[in-house]
Amino acid sequence: MAFPRRRFQYYHRLRSLYPVISSISGAILFLFALLSLLAPTPMDSDQFHRSDSLSVVAKEAIRNGDSMFRVPSGGGRLNRDIWSSRNSRLFYGCNNASSKFAKAEAVTHANRFLAIATSGGLNQQRTGIVDAVIAARILNATLVVPKLDPKSFWKDSSDFREIFDIDWFISFLSKDIKIIKQLPRRGGKAWIPHTMRVPRKCSERCYQNRVLPVLQKRHAIQLTKFDYRLANKLDTDLQKLRCRVNYHALRFTDPILQMGKMLVNRMRMRSKHYIALHLRFEPDMLAFSGCDYGGGEKERNELGAIRRRWKTLHKTNPDRQRRQGRCPLTPEEVGLMLRALGYGMMNKMMMMLMITMMLMIMTLMIQNGLIQMMMSIDLALKRKACIMKQF
């Protein structure tokens, strides 16, 4: 009996060290975060935009008028402005409806209501909202303000009115489609719409053949998991309506706009030009891309297992996907792109942020490992105690 007690005391002492380890890890993370804030910005560095560090090949290309873009070896930039275009003045907006596009009151049927339930991250849900407007126009139905997905990966409980300006959304599209905030009551009770799902990339004819007969019978339907449920190729006026919804009707609420302006102003104070990178390298996204990323047989097996979960995910040629530029950027390719845009060696701030993130991940792994180890120790000791009692 003495031996199990001594072991229990030993593991009890080990368990008492857990708050100490957490405190030390937190202090280290705070220190690195403080250093990253005090580090100089990229624009303060003399070598950030130093043109005298161009490679001999790049200088020769500029001297000869060669249009090939070459990556500066020292992190400088070529004497070409890649942030503007000579032809930019020739582009103009063309998303206004044509004279053939009828007004909403002329085509909307009073007894047709369309609701949707979006799916995925906020970007996918935004795409679903845009497509919902087009689907309602195809069906000549009144659109109910779409519901956002509270069960997505991010577990965000925000509804439409908390992210987008709902009154602006309704008023801006009033000439194109009728929109209401909620279904009207039916017989003094809440009207529960009939639910159904349409296939991905459903065309205009697909909606007319699959959805319209059900809508004419039920009068109110809700399309579930509404992500990428509309074809890309549509009538010109419907494509223009798509643009009006995406770039004009969907406007963020004032608090979000104010936060965005504050962030943009801070970036403009540091530099005339800046770039926003949406870096994504999650396993599911890599699997959907159909590309290989140099991880060998282990990578192919893991991504293949994810791909097999979806029967509709077709097999692709990884080499062809990469040649056509359809593969997400790897960390190495992101570095090459930043170097090509004029960024030199990784500055201190970026280094500190990366170290901080690595330490945070390591701390979480250590803490989770300790918790799992302690839980297994406690379980083992309890089982031993039960066995000893039986004897």
Residues 6+ apart with CB under 8 A from 217: none
**Which of the given ranges, 14-23, 33-42, 48-57, 297-306, has the highest pLDDT on average?**
297-306
| Mean pLDDT, residues 63-71 | 44
Q: In the chain, helix, strand, coil percent, each to 5?
A: 55, 5, 40
Model pLDDT, residue 8: 53
Rounded to whole angstroms, how far apart are CA atoms 48 and 42?
6
pLDDT tens string 175-226: 999 999 999 998 889 999 999 999 989 999 999 999 999 999 999 999 999 9
Burial of 22 (0-12, 13-18, 19+ CB in 10 A): middle
> How many Å from the N-terminal Cα to the C-terminal Cα in the chain?
12
pLDDT tens string 86-120: 777 777 778 899 999 999 999 999 999 999 999 88
Lowest mean pLDDT among 92-96, 122-126, 137-141, 297-301: 92-96
| Mean pLDDT, residues 15-26 | 68
Checking if the pLDDT of 244 tops 80, the result is yes
Please say whether the beta carbons of 223 and 196 come within 8 A. Answer: yes
Rounded to whole angstroms, how far apart are CA atoms 101 and 137?
11
pLDDT, greater one: 299 or 282: 299
SS3 label, residue 189 = strand
pTM above 0.75, yes or no: no
Checking if the pLDDT of 389 tops 50, the result is no
SS3 label, residue 265 = helix
Residue 274 is given by DSSP the state: -
pLDDT, greater one: 376 or 170: 170
Model pLDDT, residue 79: 57
Per-residue HEC secondary structure of 354-373 comes to HHHHHHHHHHHHHHHHHHHH
Model pLDDT, residue 68: 39
pLDDT, greater one: 305 or 58: 305
Best CA proximity match to 288, nearest among 228, 241, 239, 243? 228
**Cα separation values, 16 from 12, 13, 232, 374, 382, Å:** 6, 5, 59, 11, 19
